[in-house]
Structure 1
Amino acid sequence: MGSPDPLEWDFSCPDWEQRLRDQRSLLPDLPLDEVEASRAVSIFDRLRLPDVPGQPAFADAAGDWARDMVRAIFGSLVDGERMVPELFELVPKKNAKTTNGAAIMVVALLMNLRPRAEFVLVGPTQEIADLAFQQASGIIDADPDGYLQKRFQVQEHVKTIVDRTNNARLKVKTFDLKVATGAKPAGVLIDELHLMAGMPHAARVIGQLRGGMIANPEAFLIFITTQSDEPPAGAFKAELDYARAVRDGRIPQGRVLPMLYEFPEAMQIAEEKPWRDPACWPMVLPNLGRSITVDRLKKEFRAAREKGEAEERRWASQHLNIEIGLALHSDRWIGADLWPRAVDVTLSYAELIARSEVIVAGIDGGGLDDLMGLGLIGRCRETKNWLGWGHAWAQPEVFDKRKEIAARLQDFADEGDLTVCEDPTEDIRGLADIIEELNTLGLLPAENAVGLDPQGVGALIDELSGRGIAEAQMIGIAQGFRLSSAVWGLERKLKDGTFVHAPQALMNWCVGNAKTEQRGNAVLITKQTAGKAKIDPLIAMFNAVSLMGRNPVAEGDNNGGLDRYLERLSA
């Protein structure tokens, strides 16, 4: 084929939405080696399903989406270099992901020319890894001609399949740090990446696998995954965001070929929820009519809806790849249902200052394994609506003691909404910097400007006092059931549209974590009811609601202060 021209290998697919509507292939036009691509598909089609009565061939049982993967990976070898080095496949449950993945890795063994090459199929859990191995070994046992049984030795005890002709091997492993130790794989398939989102070492392991593949120019990395049943986080979020950016053309000449069976964002977030219509479902079900039918899904969907919105969203995330923005649950804060529609995508810290006539601050934090949360609410000069913005600080102990949320917290840090403290007082100083700036700009009221949890705030009060914040500007906000009026007040303003907030995944997460407990006529949203999840920035926002509800007036000439602030920004 001659020397590869990287410019010819453009993985973007700008018309992906129309392709989904037409149920056409998501594989963009690529200069594939059609001979090798067709040979690989022919091998794939002749393999047989190991766990289906009659053991039909993949030619009949697999959808064309699986053949697109086979064509792209094995038809992209040019002068020994794999021009499609990575592929990200997002496909709902019950579309035979694990079985197709196992078959693709068997094809990789059969197409391989490198002696002693190592291929790895990685599952997120022991159960999924066992299933993947059983599918791969079962495909070999199902060969009616006996050729695969003669060529491959299946080692059950170490979950390895060895090619007797060249000692290449396929290893099936559970995802952990040992997967990447000393590995120089010729091919890796990672199944259900979304289940690895909470693993703090996931990105590190994937990075090490990528590093090991450099030694083999023909190496490939495939992700096959369903959408997460929680807001995407960690390595899953990073890889999915990258794949979307390549698909949409925002990253030219990206390293990954994206094949994402998901509804357009407008369909996912629309208030009328058009994705609920079964007529739309074929857009994201590439194996429809084979391993899954619309009629079967309709029954499951009805059952999920009867259990409530939280179960409906969870079901939709797994079976229709609907991305969950808020982790809703049965005892959730009612404001969580209203939060998504109150977002103002133009709002930021700078915009909050530019648009507000007065700003109040709420602060909440606990021990070293908690977040320090800041909630700012400004009152818009023109509309008088309330504008919300939040930030958080985390000590290293949070990442050590709360490993289940460490990857998610790192995402918030990468997005700029959370600061990872490098010393014990960075959170106190960071809070004071912001409040001092607002005070200098004349945006804080002369009284009741900063609301704090009365417990354990001595160091913060000392710091603020040293920055010129007057005693009258600081006030303790009673917590527990006494915060009910602020909770109810924010709910009402969310519903009537007079409170909007910045587009911050951190605050979305905290809102989704909030659990309520009824105490008589009061409602409690506390750290105790939230459990191991974090809600400090949300509690800080409630503290700010308590202050803004007093109809404060800014102390200084905030227009003059704003001019000085904008001058600093432009400089």
Structure 2
Amino acid sequence: MADFSCPDWFEKLKAGRSPLPDNMPLDQDEARLAVEAFNKLRLPDVPGKPLLRDVAGEWARDFVAAIFGLVEMNDDRTVVIDRKARKFFQLVPKKNSKTTNGAAIMMTAMLRNRRPNAEFLLVGPTQATAERAYEQAEGMVKADPWLRKRFHLREHIKTIEDRTNGAKLRIRSFDNKVMTGAKPVGVLVDELHELGKISYAAKVMTQIEGGIIANAEGFVIIITTQSDEPPCGVFKDELKLARSIRDGEFEDAETLPMLYEFPAEMQADENQPWADPTNWHLVLPNLGKSITVERLSPKYREAKEAGDDKMSIWGSQHLNIEVGIATNRDRWAGVTYWQAAHRKGLTLDRLIEDCDVCVVGIDGGGLDDLMAIAVIGRHKITRTWLHWARAWAHKDVFERRKEIVSRLEDFIAQGDLIRCDAIDQDVTEIADICERLHAAGKLPEKAGIGLDAYGIASLLDALDERGMAGDLVMSVGQGWKLQSAITTLPRKLKDKTMQHCGQDLMKWAVGNAKSELRGSNYIVTKQAAGASKIDPLMATFNAAILMFLNPEASSFNADDWIASYA
């Protein structure tokens, strides 16, 4: 394994170079021969069917050189005995010859292959996606008389077979059976961002990566654009890994990242410097070839006119802008400052230790909704508000809201969402958290636990059973009665007098919220009915209402309380 970090990646983009590390341990002969094979392929869907040598960008050749050059050969150079990288992750915007280059790479693999009866696979989120890459590869064979002699096109089963050694390039659908009986030499996975929305995607990717291990020269190539929704599932995991390798945070990796994107601070800048057409060349490696600024500009102007939500989607697909928090015009004002208010290292344990008083907000709906708790503590010294949240989901949510299952499973893996196995699990565990805060003497004597005026009878009963009823529980009015929290929290986030744990659960909930003016008051509702959950944010508003009362921790003796309760 090698060091594939590239700390100067953005400087390279500004210089028009590929964002790949210098001095990669390439076998120069293998890299050169692969690039020569790649260059001799023809574009099948362009007038004149030009050679890739004449129309492909240097960035594409750099990627080819890395894929085929990061190998170790035997002494007589007839067999690959090991690989220095087994996975290659390329993030590139739409219209940059992504699918065509992917097909050409797999045809290059067929041409450079030494293994008899080797199998190469084209995998996509749908059959149609995989077929597009296959059709490009098939077209490259048809466009060249020599390739037509070497390869047998079995079009009815979407397979290209090498007559010299029996190797095959074929398509596979992305499902749990994709690797059944397969030990491929190479796999191209197209549009991973779409696969991130599939609940079983991580399992299938594990199968794919496990399947190639049988062959010393085995490799997986992932070529994808950014997601048009906040990254989730396997796409989020692979993107995070690629970035950490690129930034030098992950050593001895077997993945080589090639990411065409703007730095995070440039993407988050509220002035949107990424939207300036003079910056687009930084992330469009095929500019002037398959795409031009002039062809992109009309759709950009349409998206800008349609509003921030459309702009966000357009930016994700054409400039690889990550959709993190909603940018719609009617978003809750706190969205803009939420990410910057992250306090690293903050946990519930740390919050309890550092704060003199804590309050709890609770929000929950039906069984197909989330139940959520938010804790806001006041720092003993700085008086800064510190925030932590958790949510619970019953199986009804997973059955009725399938479009968000992958996202929910991410939150479960992070420990911020609990899947309920019993009907009263959420109520019991929320009461446990409240009891912990009470025993630590962090709750005020009055108005320490706030919940919807309608409340949840079972939760009230659970709190009462633990001696936490009466004045300690406060009914918090909803709708316009939350206006003080809705309008004040954005100011506290902006000046960082409120900070949070940086939980993806909250980032998602905050991004799902929109603000509406009703009469003379603002209320917060969901962006879309059903799937757009905001319960953790509503629980936060409930807690904020209690903290506005400037509470003081009770002089309650935890040992005496525990003894009497026992």
How do 1:108-507 and structure 2 match up within 5 A? 108-143=109-144, 146-345=145-344, 347-455=346-454, 457-491=456-490, 493-494=492-493, 498-507=497-506
> Does the Cα contact within 8 Å between 2:307 and 2:328 map onto a contact in 1?
no
1-structure distance, mates of 2:305, 2:527: 29
- CA drift at 1:372: 1.8
How far apart, CA to CA, are the structure 2 residues paired with 1:530 and 1:499?
A: 29
Q: Does 1:94 align with 2:95?
A: yes
Which of 12, 21, 43 pairs up with 2:14? 21
What is the TM-score with the length of structure 1 in the denominator?
A: 0.89
Is residue 2:45 matched to residue 1:51? Answer: yes
CA contact (8 A) 2:526 2:534 kept: yes
Report if aligned partners of 1:45, 1:59 keep a CA contact under 8 Å in 2. Answer: yes
Deviation at 1:470, TM superposition (A): 3.2
Alpha-carbon spacing, 1:532–1:276, altered in 2? closer, same or farther (3 Å) = closer
The offset of 1:365, in angstroms, is 2.0
CA contact (8 A) 1:514 1:530 kept: no
- Say what the alpha-carbon RMSD is for the aligned residues: 2.6
Q: What are the Cα deviations for residues 456-492 of structure 1, in whole angstroms up to 9, with x where unaligned?
A: 6222222222333132111233334544454344345
Query: For the Cα contact (< 8 Å) 2:92–2:224, is it kept in 1?
Result: yes
**Aligned residue number for residue 61 of structure 2:** 67
Q: What's the CA shift for 1:346?
A: 5.0
Q: Give the equivalent residue in structure 1 for 2:562.
A: none
Paired positions, count: 551
The farther-off stretch of 174-183 and 445-454 is 174-183
Q: Deviations over 1:297-316 (max 9, x none)?
A: 34443333222222222222
Deviating more after overlay: 397-406 vs 192-201: 397-406
Give the 3-state SS of the residue equivalent to 1:179 in structure 2.
coil
Amino acid at match of 2:4: F
Q: 1:176 to 1:521 in 2, by over 3 A?
A: farther
The one-letter code sitting in structure 1 at the alignment partner of 2:49 is Q
Structure 1 contact 339–494 (Cα < 8 Å) conserved: yes
Is contact 1:21–1:283 with CA below 8 Å preserved after alignment? yes
**Aligned mates of 1:359, 1:165 — CA distance in 2:** 73
Are the aligned partners of 1:96 and 1:287 in contact in 2 as well (CA < 8 Å)?
A: yes
Preserved contact between residue 197 and residue 233 of structure 1 (Cα < 8 Å): yes
Distance 1:435 1:250, change over 3 A: same
Contact 2:514 2:527 in 1 (8 A): no
Q: CA deviation at 1:277?
A: 3.5
Q: Structure 1 residue 34 and structure 2 residue 28: aligned?
A: yes
1:46 counterpart letter in structure 2:
K
User: 1:527 deviation in Å?
Assistant: 6.2
Partner AA of 2:5 in structure 1: S
- Where 1:177 maps in the other structure, the secondary structure is coil
1:400 CA displacement: 4.0
Q: Which residue of 2 aligns with 1:511?
A: 510
Which amino acid letter does the alignment assign opposite residue 117 of structure 1?
A: A
**What is the identity, as a one-letter code, of the residue corresponding to 1:26?**
P
> Secondary structure of the equivalent of 1:290?
coil
CA 1:333–1:434: 2 relative to 1, 3 Å:
same
Stretches of structure 1 lacking an aligned partner (at least 5 in a row): 1-5, 562-571
* AA partner of residue 280 (structure 1): N
CA shift digits 1:246-290 (9 cap, x unpaired): 222222111111111122223222344333343433222221221
Aligned residue identity for 1:36: E
SS in 1 for 2:178: helix
Superposed CA offset, 1:55-96 (max 9, x none): 111112211221122112222332322322110011111111
Greater Cα offset, 387-396 or 271-280: 271-280
Structure 1 position 398, deviation (Å): 3.2
| 1:3-25 deviation line (CA, Å, top 9, x unaligned) | xxx4xx32222332322222223
- Secondary structure of the corresponding residue to residue 375 of structure 1: strand
Q: 1:526 to 1:306 in 2, by over 3 A?
A: closer
After the TM superposition, which of the residue ranges 27-36 and 443-452 deviates more from structure 2?
Answer: 27-36
CA distance in 2, matches of 1:534, 1:225: 28
**Change over 3 Å in CA distance of 1:333–1:187 after alignment to 2:** same
Which letter does structure 2 place at the counterpart of 1:127? Answer: A
- Of stretches 466-475 and 340-349 in structure 1, the one that deviates more from structure 2 is 340-349
Tell me the CA shift for residue 235 of structure 1: 0.1
Distance 1:339 1:77 in 2: 45
The 2-side partners of 1:285 and 1:521 are apart by 46
Q: Is the 8 A contact 2:188 2:221 kept in 1?
A: yes
In structure 2, list runs of 5 or more residues that go unmatched.
Answer: 75-79, 560-566
- Whole-angstrom distance in 1 between the partners of 2:466 and 2:53: 72
Structure 2 residue matching 1:285: 3-state secondary structure:
coil
Counterpart contact for 1:275–1:281, Cα < 8 Å:
yes
CA contact (8 A) 1:11 1:254 kept: yes
Q: Which amino acid aligns with 2:124?
A: G
* Bigger mean CA offset, 511-520 vs 76-85: 511-520
Deviation of 1:115 after TM superposition, in Å, equals 2.0
Cα distance between partner residues in 2 of 1:12 and 1:489? 42
The alignment partner of 1:70 has SS state of: helix
CA distance in 2, matches of 1:443, 1:518: 36
The code of the aligned residue for 2:187 comes to V
Overall identity of the aligned pairs, in %: 53
